[in-house]
Each structure stands twice: as structure tokens, then as C-alpha cells.
Structure 1
Amino acid sequence: MTSAVPSWFEWALQQPRQSHFTDASGTRIHHVSWNAGDTHKPGLLFAHGFLGHSHWWDFIAPFFTEQFRVFAFDFSGMGESGHRDEYRSDSFVRDFAAVLKAAAIAPGVIVAHSFGGSRLLQACATFPELIRHAIVLDSYYMLPGDLRPVIDRRPAPRPYPDANTGMAHFRLIPGQDCEPWLIDHLARTSLRQTEAGWTWRFDPSLRHVQPVDGDESLLSRITVPVTYVHAEMSAVVSADRANRIVAAIPNARGPVTMAQAHHHLMLDHPLALVDLLRSLLEQSS
């Protein structure tokens, strides 16, 4: 791993992004745009993983503004979106629908990672008219015979006295090697300042939410075009599971394997992911 910040990364972070808010079943959902004014272009929406936020796409999304009207969003309870009194699986599915409608990009193309990808599959079955193409990145989905994973219900950490202390405690789950300039960006954008100190940008009650879900009949009901991308070195999704997920979805493509990539594939090989997504989007246009 190198420590020098590459010029492409600096360029991506310099691209202006604008915040927007919309309502999803009574909760304010935050989404961002890089070129909302390009209304003549088709829509492209990025969705993050569990306890993440839209900043995970800051160094990926700007590469697609020439061809698309590009957005990313924060799931309810995460990032800058509002918190819910109760989180259910369909809560996050409705977040997709709210943003697609508010941004006026339905039917749109959606790229979603991990937790976001499993909720995207649910959205494909629930709101097929809103989605033109779903690209799912290394997302776990429960299949027949699976046991529901045990949730680690650790208490939320106490607020940190300053941002640097909080950043030093930032960890990827699952862990993997990552360039320090990428970790710094994610750590910094994952914190917010409160009267009590610096805390993470997610609702602590989400620690009790099941991050994986599954309805074996749901996958067979999907009619939306789906492309599944598997990270070869993933600690979350095995090659066998990736194949079984694709086999359960009618007319799904894949799994397309991203070589030498771990679960957080946008951190392992960001530019390779950009190239792969460009290829997949060209093929679906």
C-alpha cells in the first residue's frame, strides 16, 4: 500500500456535490447529486453498505457524470438521513423508492454494495417499475437452509472528545487492507459533532437490526435485469453463494468476478471498479 494521494482521487473529491432531502414513510432521507441539472441524461443511483453513507461513493460516482445524471443516498438511520422509531426490512426498500421518485430518475440504474445490494434485490421485486437495471456488488442473501447469523449486540461507543480520536477508532467490517487516504476520507465523513462529543453518523439502534435478510421466493419473482458482481477474495460472499444467488434470479447475469478484490471492492481497486461498472452499463444501455 502506498501513502501518496493520487491525482484522480483529489479530482473526484473536488467535484461539487449537492445535498437534497425527501420523505420516506415519515423519515427524512438524504441524497446527493453531482449533476442534477443534466435532466437529459439517464439516472444512476449508488447505495452504500450497512452503517455506511453516501460518501463511500465520493471517489467513484463523479466518473459517471458524462453519461449519467448521478446520485447517491443515505439509508434511513445512516449518514445524514433521519432516524426511525422502528427499522424493518421494507423500511430500507422504501428509501430506494423515495429517492428515485424525488430525483426524478425512475426507472433508473442502481449500483448497490453489500447490505445495500440485498435491499436492492428486495426493491427489484417490490418496485420493478422504478428500476431499469440493478448492479449488485458482493451482497449476501440468505438462501434455503441458511441459519440467520447471530448479531453482535455490542453497546454503542461513548462519544469521542475530538474528531482525530474518533477517526483513529474507525474500522472496516469485515477488515481488509486499505490505502490510508481512503480510510481517512471514510473515517472523517463517518463522524459528526454533537454536544456530547464526536459520534458516528448512524442511529445506535441499528446495531440491533439484522443486516442480512432473505426470502427464497423473492428472488424468483424478480423481473428487473440484475447483474451480480462478486469480489474474488470476499469474506462475506463465497463463490458458491454468488452462483446460487444468480441462479435463483430469472435472467440474472453473473456472477461477474472482480479479481483480487475483497468485500469492500471500491476500496481495493477503485479505478478497476469504475472500469467494470462502465463496461456493465454500456452493455445494458
Structure 2
Amino acid sequence: MQDMPQLGIGTFRLEDNTAYKSVTDGLKAGFRHIDTAQIYGNEEYVGDAIKAFGIEREDFFLTTKVWFDHFGNDSFIESVHESLAKLKVDHVDLLLIHWPSPDDKVPMEQYLNSLAQAKKDGLTRHIGVSNFTIEQMEKAVEILGEGEIYTNQIELHPFMQNRKVAERAEELGMKVTAYMPFAVGKVMKSETLQSIGQKSDASPAQVTLAWMKAKGYYTIPSSTNPDHIQDNYEFEKVSLSADDIALIDDLDNGERIVDPDFGPEWD
């Protein structure tokens, strides 16, 4: 699959058989984009689910992410080979730097050049970053050149729309991939999203996904409930007016959920 599908299955915090079942249910629903990471500890289960489903390699888009423990020259490529072995594939479609190196302990030139090497070696078709600030995205483009970085995967949802980073990513030629699109369930409680959904008999989750698409964002919701997974996949039944989009835009209050102590200084 050449291009990343706009909607994918996220597997953050899904362990063991829970990850296996979520990926299986997602593939059954029609998802063809699966997102995992070394630090999730579930690459093996994701790989098992894909293999058991019996889908051809060219018919799905697979993303994993390198953890910063592996940014040293010796272990970066080795860790990617380990990921591929667990995922039971000979390449991923997208390989991301999961977080910038905390306190720049490893220079960005070093780990981004390792990322580029993984692409050159055929271990991935595309390369990208995650949780990068504006300054870090700009530096990454300086290091690797324009058009090399496929996406910046960032926290983005109606309550934290990360507009400056999203706009700069697009100006730099990167796709914006939104993780945590439902703000760990908070969208379900939003009266605004409920009210918009009622017009087309849609859930607040479906409204959120329709808004993401209208904005041109890619997104990777996760769920362990087969009905919710199916519901997510069918979000395109929702038709949003310009007024609806403006109402959702107004929900932004900068509420960040993922903010570890090793994270960068956010924009």
C-alpha cells in the first residue's frame, strides 16, 4: 500500500491478547493501517494478528516507532530488525522516531541519519517523527532535506488542537498524524459533539473523526470494543457543515494529556 490510509488502528496501551484482538477486529472492520511502537511491547501480538488474518503484505500499511534507548549508532538498526522479526514482516511502511532524544543526549543528526539508513536498507518505505516541536521539525528538515519526513505524529484532539505545530508541519511538507483523537474518552462527554452527532445519528467519536478528515489530518484511534472499532471505521456517514467545524474548532482549550517528564518544551 503506497499511501498511508487516513484512518488507522492505534495500539498504545494494548497488551498481549488485547492488542491481538483489537488488530483482528480492526482488520475485520476494514482498517488497513496499523500503528504500533517498540515501547508498547505488543509488536509480536500485532504481527501475529496480521499474519493470522492472512492479508497480503501490499494490502496494509504498518507503522512502528524507535524508542530513544536505541538512538545510539550500534543499536538503532539492530532494534529495527528486532521489530521486523516480531511483526513478521521484512519491512514496515513507516518508521518513526518516537520522541526526540531527551535533553538532546543523542544528537539529532545521529539518530535521524540512522533513520535514513533504515530506509536506505529497505527496512522501511517512509520515515517520520513523533512528538517533535516546530524547532525540532525545522532542524530535522535541515538534516534530512525537504520531502524526506513523511509525518509528525502528535497529540491532537478537539480539546488540544496543536494548531501551530500542525500548520508548520504541513508547511514543511509533513502529514499530520493525530494520536489520542478522543482525548481518552473525553470527546464522548462533550455536549457540542453529542449535539452535532445527533443530526446524523452519529457518535461523538464519529464526529471527531469526520472533523479530523475535514482538517486534512491522519489519525489512529484505539479501542478494544469491536462495536466501537466498527463505529470508528464508519465515520464517513457524518457530514459536517462549516458551522459544525467552527463549533469543534472552538473546543480547543490546550488540554494536553501526554506530557512525560522527558518530553520536549512544547510550543
Q: Return the TM-score normalized by structure 2.
A: 0.36
In proportion to residue count, which structure has more strand?
1
Q: Return the TM-score normalized by structure 1.
A: 0.34
In proportion to residue count, which structure has more helix?
2
